[in-house]
Structure 1
Amino acid sequence: MRTDIFARLDREPVPPKIVIPRMSSTRTALFGGTLAFYVFVVAAVLTDSWLVALDWKTFLFRPYQQWPGLHAFLDYFVVLGQRGPTAVMIAAWLGWRSWRQHTLRPLLVLGTSLLLLNVTVGAVKLGLGRQGPHYGTQVGSPELFSGGDIFPSGHTANAVVTWGILAYLATTPRTRRYLSLGSSALALGVGATTVYLGTHWVSDVLLGWAAGLLILLAMPWFEPMIGRAELAIFAARDRLRAYRGARAGAPASPGEDEPQPPRRPSDGEPPRRPVGAARSGRAGAAGSSVAPGQAKGTLAQSRTHHPVRSDRPPVTPAGNRRPPQSRQIAGG
């Protein structure tokens, strides 16, 4: 049994059974009610209703002046709703869980939710163009279509999504219940803090809560796409590993380890015999006797297939360089 401090760093031998949430009737009803609330808040701001009057009353009350002792703490607490720091923290934790559970689903779910958050919230922000409380020009005005990007609250929606995704990915009902309560309290606190600091209207925070909750409730609709993306990524990884293995096992050059095919003679070129066969053939010809009747045919055949090299020295323009053989004198 291992007792060192690194024993807990081992990957889980058998991944836990992950139950993927489905779009049940309860979840569908919650999605429909949240969507209706979202439309109601947008319509109330567009029609300059009592909700806009509540926005101005809360801002003119100036909560940051009523309880100045909380200001220093809440300046740091509101960072838990900023997209950059929270995304890094949650991605680090989910990356660890992905490695332990042998799956990419946690990271893919986080990426999908953040993409939906940026698209939906960003589109409404730019489309309505509402200014923040500190940039209001007329008391009682909704401050719409003025080039702002404050409605809905991005801090609030981001807090709902990034911290709520932990509850969505929980593997046990008890853990999901506790994480749901914790993430809800954190999202409510971040939204209220932005109202306290005067950076958002009350209606901004209400719409931010609804926007984040809509994304969490709609995530089961994107689970099939997430599953296909995970399979595609693993398939690409396997192909890359196979390619690297093939490259590592291949020879450095094709001429070193692989045998080369024999060269075929070109047209008009006599076929070449192996060196050993040629030597053995010459030795056999020297040691064998040829009948007189076969000498002429054998000589013609040898001239046809294997030209006989002349023993005469080559004659060059400078003359014969081979010294003449001395003639033997009879009786000498």
Structure 2
Amino acid sequence: MRTDRIFARLDREPEPPKIEIPGMSRTRTVLFGSTLAFYIAIVWAVLITSWLVALDWKVMLFRPYEQWPELHPFLDYFVVLGQRGPTAVMVAAWLGWRSWRQHTLRPLLALGAALLLLNVTVGAVKLGLGRLGPHYATEIGSAEMFAGGDIFPSGHTANAVVTWGILAYLATTPRARRHLSVLSAVVALGVGATTVYLGTHWLSDVLLGWAAGLLILLSLPWFEPLIGRTEAWVFAVRAAWRGRRRLGAAQPAPAGGRLAPAPFADRHPAAPNEKPAREPVGAGSGGGGRATGARTTGHLTPRPHTARSERTPVTPVGSRRPPHADRAGAARPGSSPRPVAGG
């Protein structure tokens, strides 16, 4: 099948009958409040070096990557599902396809808002708390806080929750939303556990990363009005730009535009003070004397061919020497004077 037919069919595909935009319901509000309380509790438990920090050290000293080394090659690739660059490109490609088919920018704008919230909130906490990772720990049993690190909360885990969870958030049917919610939860839990297995994060880092990503997904309905206004503004700008292009294409040529070139005879008009060219003697319709007027473009009347020896000497063609003064006066009435140029 030809590609133009495929694209034409996709362009004619109607928008889904009903796209429900999630709102901040009571259930979602309760979940947001509970997750926020869990987030604060994890941060507080690490700050006071509670039992959670002791559990972090026990898991780190257990060294899971040495206990199950056969899993290491696979999990090295699996953890990429939590890296921000590759996952953002994959999810953005899918949501861009959906935006094109449904003629809406909401999927891409929702992804952009979620990633912006992720970078701002998680990045600020990382830099503010400054916790060191397991491979850089300096004192056993210490929380390693405010030491210049940037691993608390786990960015891999939070990014996996947001980038894969946004697919479930944007699902158009309840069945698709359930399936995508399970899939995104499995990927997010697996990425967080993998970072603990590889020894790149403490267990508390992963717990806080799960909570940070879930908070962003639960807060997205608050940003839906802004997403809608941004989409309307983008479409308005596009419509205005297309209108200007059509107007410029349909506008006729200006009245003072370049005219068609004049005929060859009129391309070089005579200057105002230029004297008219001199005609050969006898070219006028009257009798003797020098005739004046516009320069003649036609040829003289042909004469019978004569041998070279019988031809009368004439003035050279193109000569600017004026004819003799008494030559025109000596002409007999009724006879045509001899032309200057030869026949």
**RCO higher in 1 or 2 (8 Å CA, sep ≥ 6)?**
1
Q: Which residue of 2 aligns with 1:245?
A: 246
Residue 178 of structure 1 deviates from its aligned partner by 0.4
Judging changes above 3 Å, is the alpha-carbon distance between structure 1 residues 163 and 12 closer, same or farther for their aligned structure 2 residues? farther
Q: Distance in 2 between matches of 1:15 and 1:95?
A: 15
1:67-101 Cα offsets, whole Å, 9 max, x none, are 00000000000000000000000000000000000
Give the 3-state SS of the residue equivalent to 2:42 in structure 1: helix
Please name the residue that 2:164 is paired with: 163
In the TM superposition, 1:99-138 aligns within 5 A as: 99-138=100-139
Give, as a single letter, the amino acid of the residue that structure 2 aligns with 1:166. Answer: L
Partner Cα distance (2:111, 2:208) in 1: 21
Query: Structure 1 length as normaliser, TM-score?
Result: 0.75
Whether 2:19 is the aligned partner of 1:18: answer: yes
**Residue-by-residue CA offset, 1:266-312 (whole Å, 9 max, x unaligned):** xxxxxxxxxxxxxxxxxxxxxxxxxxxxxxxxxxxxxxxxxxxxxxx
Q: 2: distance between equivalents of 1:189 and 1:11?
A: 38
Tell me by how many angstroms 1:250 deviates. 2.6
In structure 1, what is the Cα distance between the partners aligned to 2:197 and 2:51? 20
Separation in structure 2 between the aligned mates of residue 243 and residue 211 of structure 1, nearest angstrom: 45
Paired with 1:88 and 1:252, the residues of 2 have a C-alpha distance of 47
Partner amino acid for 1:46? L
1:256 corresponding residue in structure 2: 257
User: Structure 1: which 5+ runs fail to align?
Assistant: 258-332
Measure how far apart 1:50 and its partner are. 0.3
Q: How does 1:46-61 map to 2 (within 5 A)?
A: 46-61=47-62
Work out the CA distance in 2 between the residues paired with 1:127 and 1:68.
Answer: 35
Name the SS of the counterpart of 1:139 in structure 2. coil
Alignment of 1:24-103 (within 5 A): 24-103=25-104
Equivalent residue letter for 1:27 = R
Q: Give the AA of the match of 1:101.
A: Q
What is the aligned length? 256
| Alpha-carbon distance in structure 2 between the residues aligned to 1:220 and 1:77 | 30
Give the alignment's Cα RMSD to 1 decimal: 1.6
Measured in 1, the distance between the counterparts of 2:104 and 2:76 equals: 37
User: What 5-or-longer segments of structure 2 have no aligned partner?
Assistant: 259-343
**Structure 1 147/181 Cα, relative in aligned 2: closer, same or farther at 3 Å?**
same
**Match for residue 199 of structure 1?**
200
Q: In structure 2, the residue corresponding to 1:137 is in which secondary structure? A: coil
TM-score, structure 2 as length reference: 0.72
Question: Which 4+ runs in 1 deviate beyond 3 A?
Answer: 3-9, 251-254
Determine helix, strand or coil for the equivalent of 1:241. helix
Q: Does 1:147 align with 2:148?
A: yes
1: CA distance, partners of 2:34 / 2:130 = 26
CA distance in 2, matches of 1:239, 1:74: 50
Q: What is the CA–CA distance in structure 2 between the aligned matches of 1:229 and 1:246, rounded to whole Å?
A: 26
One-letter code aligned to 1:22: G
> What percentage of residue pairs aligned between the two structures are identical?
73
Aligned residues of 1:129 and 1:145 also touching (Cα < 8 A): yes
- Determine which structure has the larger helix proportion and give its number: 1
Amino acid at match of 1:209: W
The 2-side partners of 1:34 and 1:231 are apart by 33
